[in-house]
Amino acid sequence: MPKAPIDVKPDWWRGAVIYQIYPRSFQDSTDSGSGDLAGITRRLDHVASLGVDAIWISPFFTSPLADMGYDVSDFCAVDPSFGTMADFDALLAKAHALGLRVIIDQAFSLSSDQHPWFSESRRSRDNAKSDWYVWADPKPDGSPPNNWLSAFGGPAWEWDGLRRQYYLHNLLIQQPDLNFHNPAVQEAVLEIVRFWLDRGVDGFRLSVCNYYFHDRKLRSNPPHPVDNNRKLPANPYGMQLHLHDKSQPESLGYLKRLRLLLDQYSSRISIGEIIAEERTLEVVSDYTGGGDKLHMSYTFDLLSSDGTPTQIASAIERFEAAVPEGWVCWSLSNHDVPRHLTRWLRPGEDPTRVAKLAATLLMSLRGSICFYQGEELGLEQSEIPFEKMQDPRGIRFWSADEGRDGCRTPMPWEAEAEHAGFSTVEPWLPLDARHAERAVDQQGAPGTVLDHYRRMLAFRKAHPALVTGDIQVLEGSGDLLAFDRIDGTSRLRMVFNTGRDTFVYRLPETARLLALPGFPDVSAETGHLKMPPRSAACCQID
């Protein structure tokens, strides 16, 4: 594939298309059953052929892998299970040669309990790193200092017998939270960012970045308002209003410091994962507004959606109203949620058609977009038996919550090869037989999901209104979703039939149907669109 120059525009990220890679499940190059950096490099030609602008690589840093790499014990080193720093440098060089920017995933709010910082911090209350983590004395009865809960279940506090205090962990016990109220911690994290910037990375996806600061007074969270019709959740985390354990105002000042560092380098960006159940859009607006903090937020609005027009229209309108200065990165699937094709499919439907509809919708939204490895093949969620599970959250809450392993299974490359070309040995998670049938080498011909992704991404890039234009929702109810994308004098009307029945959509007299990929059975008559079930159309409004 010929070399494609990297776009040097500072705002290249506005409207960019990002491909998420989960390293452990992308490609094994060492016959270990687990994916690695060299495997990613081997398969980058496939990613570049899609027409995306960047890749986001989930964590590959040194880690005990209690939470699949989000528990980091060295933020500036590659875990041996993923390869070496030389492997990363080769990946970076290959990606740049293909015109792909590289975004890495860092969970700076916490570390592994095996990190040298934590090992020193827990030794005493007066050592050099004694307050690098969030420590607190017990109540007189020995119980934790407040009622904060872990997102992975149980109290967010763990007793440490050596230091004789509790430490805070918003996720696993093995993931103690760093104390960002300590200026030395802030400086240490900025130095990590500088290390990777100097190495040549193009951006950072900042995991749970609204967890950086906690309430200094350690006030307990209030209960979530009681809904007598609401079934108790499998995880009681959702029973609190999380006002004090995250999303604190001090985060804004720190994000400004981070942005100043990024701006010292050419065209480097930040994407913030913001998990704020009660006031998500308020926090997103704070974190992305003003052009001096995060470049954009990674939204969860569509990661639980089953694709109804009401849900999608509401998500768009709420974001546009609440975050006038910010920029969003939309996704339908990632490594933490069931694959969207499984969520959207109804009994008896053609998964290929639904996959095309979902892709067309995602690529028509205002904002940047991210899609997860395997979406371009139309992969569905896998069912993982309990004895094969690896996800600590899934294991803890089985079977009320089946966990995240079902979306993390190996990428299928060659239908007839052993383990679909992912590995020559048994993979770390079982490979779904249905996925092998949809392997990369079985797709790419006209009419396949993979072909649709390539053609639709090309269509998006050919129409600036779809990349950076404004959006105006027109309809969002029943089976009909319609919105306009507007760029100066150019106006495109995107219309989606998400239902099982054909309907007729009335058009302005000045509208003309464009050849949108994937739906040749959509037709235009004078002033009307005839739209078969699960279809999409694009019209130029003159």
Give the 3-state secondary structure of 200-253: CCCEEEECCHHHCCCCCCCCCCCECCCCCCCCCCCCHHHHECCCCCCCCCHHHH
pTM exceeding 0.85: yes
Q: For the chain, which domains are there?
A: 17-110+182-460 (3.20.20.80), 470-541 (2.60.40.1180)
Q: Which of 305, 357, 406, 295 is nearest to 54 (CA)?
A: 295
Please tell me the distance from the alpha carbon of residue 484 to that of residue 377, in angstroms, as a whole number. Answer: 28
Please tell me the distance from the alpha carbon of residue 62 to that of residue 364, in angstroms, as a whole number. Answer: 38
Which residues neighbour 114 within 8 Å (Cβ) at sequence distance 6 or greater? 64, 71, 73, 174
The single-letter code of the amino acid at 71 is D
Q: Are 89 and 201 in contact (CB under 8 A)?
A: no
**Residue 371 three-state SS:** strand
The single-letter code of the amino acid at 291 is G
Please tell me the distance from the alpha carbon of residue 88 to that of residue 271, in angstroms, as a whole number. Answer: 21
Q: What is the pLDDT of residue 229?
A: 72
Q: Which residues of the chain have pLDDT under 50?
A: 1-3
DSSP 164: T
Residue 340 backbone dihedrals phi, psi, to 5 degrees: -65, -30
Structure tokens at 36: 């690695």
Please tell me the distance from the alpha carbon of residue 415 to that of residue 434, in angstroms, as a whole number. Answer: 10
Residue 204 β-bridge partners: 104, 270
Residue 52 backbone dihedrals phi, psi, to 5 degrees: -80, 170
Calculate the average pLDDT of the chain.
95
Q: Would you mind telling me the total number of residues written for the chain in this entry?
A: 542
CB pairs under 8 A, 24+ apart, for 247-252?
247/210, 247/276, 247/279, 247/283, 248/212, 248/213, 248/214, 248/215, 250/180, 250/181, 250/212, 250/213, 251/180, 251/209, 251/210, 251/212, 251/213, 251/287, 252/286, 252/287, 252/293
